[in-house]
Homo-oligomer: A and B are copies of this chain.
Amino acid sequence: MALEHAILVSLLERPGSGYELARRFDRSIGYFWAATHQQIYRVLKRMESDGLIGARTVVQQDRPDKKEYSVGPLGRTALSRWLHEPIEPESVRHELAVKIRGAAFDDPAALIQEVERHREAHADRLAHYLAGELRDFTGPEAPAPLEAGQELQHVVLRGGIAYERMTLAWLDDVIATLQRLGPERRRRP
């Protein structure tokens, strides 16, 4: 179960509550491992009862109290063990690609709008990543000699940036292809 390990990594980078983790999974760590708050709360509860993490209640003014989790020795060991186990190369799940192949049995041109919507979403993500890179790693505000953890966060972010750039170029290719095939070349077997 990789969510467990993603949570361990995130809590080692900085302790936090379920709610805070959920927001991190909407940003930073969620760029390559998505999770909803329900999933996170459920797994946190199990991890606490397994002794991987510990919780302390933080009383707050003007907002509800929270339970701040941090990683215990058992959690550290569990993460270490997982890091030394081999994992399978990812199997991709790309719904849009299914749609593109399916468009052969419908109207290819009708898919252009949808692909453009995706293109915009990826352009936004790329802009977001680039802003984060400048803020945390390459800009004047960033700490000059990065420590190991930051170097590793940076290389992961570079992966996200490369992915978004590649995807944008590909979506342009898709749009051009869909435009070349008009509704007139629609296949009706």
| Chain A residues engaging chain B, CB cutoff 8 angstroms | 2, 5-6, 8-9, 12-13, 29-34, 76, 79-80, 82-84, 86-87, 89-106, 108, 110-111, 114, 117-118, 121-122, 147-149, 151-156, 158-159, 162-163, 165-166, 169-170, 173-174, 177, 180-181, 185-187, 189
Contacts and interface: CB of A to CB of B under 8 A. Distances in A.
B177 A122 contact: no
A12 B180 CA distance: 22
Given A90-B95, A98-B33, A162-B166, A173 B155 contact: yes
A170 B181 contact: no
Given A9-B101, A33-B95, 7 more contacts: A9-B102, A12-B102, A12-B104, A82-B102, A86-B117, A101-B156, A154-B177
Given A148-B187, A155-B173, A118 B89 contact: yes
A148 B95 contact: no
B106 A79 contact: yes
A159 to B, nearest CB: 5
Contacts of A76: 105
B98 A32 contact: yes
Nearest to A113: B86
Contacts of A118: 89
A86 B113 CA distance: 9
A97 B33 contact: yes
Contacts of A9: 98, 101-102, 105
26 contacts: A6-B98, A8-B102, A29-B101, A31-B92, A32-B93, A33-B94, A34-B93, A79-B105, A80-B105, A83-B111, A84-B106, A86-B114, A87-B96, A87-B114, A89-B96, A92-B163, A94-B159, A100-B152, A100-B156, A101-B153, A101-B156, A103-B152, A108-B148, A148-B181, A155-B177, A162-B170
